[in-house]
């Protein structure tokens, strides 16, 4: 954005990582945002040089937002429930709260409100699923410019040539678009370790198909600096206030 161009305030706030666009509109509506010291209005346009501030209520609202880490089992969908299948958020209950959670955050029903997945896992995939109320975290993990690494252990069947392994690392295209470079290596004789910085639909399964492999098991073990660790399948914990994805 150049000095002369102007964009919607909510878009600029999201670009700056202050909050999501939807949250920005809510904050503006409640009078919690100022531009150059003047209370902002919905639909307002700003330039790069304008100073944007959130007031105390906005910061307090953000501080109350929680992020949950779930070890998703097979058979649950990441987002909205589908015919015959429950959404993963249905597992966020007091009974499934991991006893090893060190966050000291006490479970409240209000923590379920607006809790949405930041990065999906297929119904037949397992491992680390992040659900958050915080638009800033969602943007970090799945925003258009997100460069956060996602790490997976992938059990495969079939034969992989040296050239196939090279292509998995860089050289494949999906949906007519070249994929970003990945890090792919053998973990053991039937399992590959994938580290990706993007998340196209069923990306790993489709990448493997292109080089003659069939995925028989897929587990996400890390997103950025946050690892699945010892979290048991079907259980969840809060993101500790001191933990960061980037």
> Do residues 214 and 208 make contact, with C-beta atoms less than 8 angstroms apart?
yes
129: closest CA among 117, 112, 146? 117
Helices (H), 37-161: 56-63, 135-142
CA distance 112 to 89: 8
CB proximity list for 175: less than 8 A, separation 6 or greater: 200
Locate all alpha helices (DSSP H) within the chain, ordered by sequence: 9-15, 21-29, 56-63, 135-142, 162-169, 203-210
Task: From 121, 147, 131, 90, select the one nearest 219 (Cα to Cα).
Answer: 121
Cβ atoms of 55 and 34 within 8 Å: the answer is yes
Kindly list the catalytic residues: 122
Among 112, 124, 46, CA closest to 85:
124
Give the containing element (helix H, strand E) for 215.
strand 214-223
């Amino acid at each position: 954005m150049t000095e002369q161009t102007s964009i919607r305030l909510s878009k600029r706030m999201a670009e700056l990582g202050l909050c999501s666009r939807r949250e920005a509109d809510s904050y503006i509506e409640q009078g919690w945002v100022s531009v150059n010291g003047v209370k902002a209005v919905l639909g307002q346009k700003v330039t790069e040089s304008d100073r944007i501030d959130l007031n105390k209520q906005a910061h307090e609202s953000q501080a109350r937002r929680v992020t949950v880490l779930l070890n998703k089992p097979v058979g649950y969908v990441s987002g909205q429930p589908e015919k015959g299948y429950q959404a993963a958020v249905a597992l966020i209950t007091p009974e499934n709260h991991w006893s090893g959670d060190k966050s000291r955050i006490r479970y409240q029903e209000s923590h379920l409100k607006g809790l949405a997945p930041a990065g999906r896992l297929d119904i037949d995939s397992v491992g680390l699923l992040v659900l958050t109320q915080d638009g800033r975290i969602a943007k970090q993990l799945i925003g258009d410019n997100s460069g956060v690494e996602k790490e997976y252990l992938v059990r495969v069947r079939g034969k992989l040539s040296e050239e196939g392994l090279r292509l998995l690392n860089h050289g494949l295209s999906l949906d007519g678009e070249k994929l970003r470079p990945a890090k792919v290596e053998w973990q053991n004789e039937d399992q590959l370790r994938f580290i990706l910085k993007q998340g196209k639909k069923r990306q790993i399964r489709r990448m493997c198909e292109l080089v003659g492999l069939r995925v028989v098991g897929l587990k996400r073990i890390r997103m950025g600096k946050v690892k699945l660790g010892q979290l048991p399948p079907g259980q969840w914990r809060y993101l500790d206030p001191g933990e960061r994805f980037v």
